[in-house]
Amino acid sequence: MSNTDFFEVNRKLWNDKTKIHVDSEFYDVAAFKAGKSSLNAIELDLLGDVNGKTILHLQCHFGMDSLSLARLGAKVVGLDLSDQAIEKARELNSELGLDVEFICCNIYALPQKLSMSFDFVFTS
């Protein structure tokens, strides 16, 4: 199997997981939409004040952590391999009136898609 095949298998897996995760109690999208942060205390403590900071969020899934960071005042770019996850992240971004940029691509292709620098690179 080539690397391309592995990436495609992984993308399909995460597309399937996204459909399940969006409706799961674990992610609790309704509470998130109502204002609950998806970030854990340890993440918040390690990041500190992100207001005004630029953050690249790798493997952002369907964007809840990226959007939580934006709610704290960060300028966020979220990246994920799953087109289904990025589509849902963009829907949430629009619905919540936030300004997160979501990019769907393989992490190895990111240098061809994005040429800015960041204060933090975050994965969760």
Residue where the block lists tokens 């969006």: 22
Note down the domain range covering 40. 3-123
Q: What is the pTM of this model?
A: 0.93
User: CATH no. for residue 50?
Assistant: 3.40.50.150
Tokens of 58: 């790798």
Give the chain's domain count. Answer: 1
Q: What is the pLDDT of residue 4?
A: 67
**Average pLDDT per run of 10 along the chain, which is 124 residues long?**
81 95 96 97 96 98 98 98 97 98 94 93 92
| 26 phi and psi angles, rounded to 5 deg | -55, -45
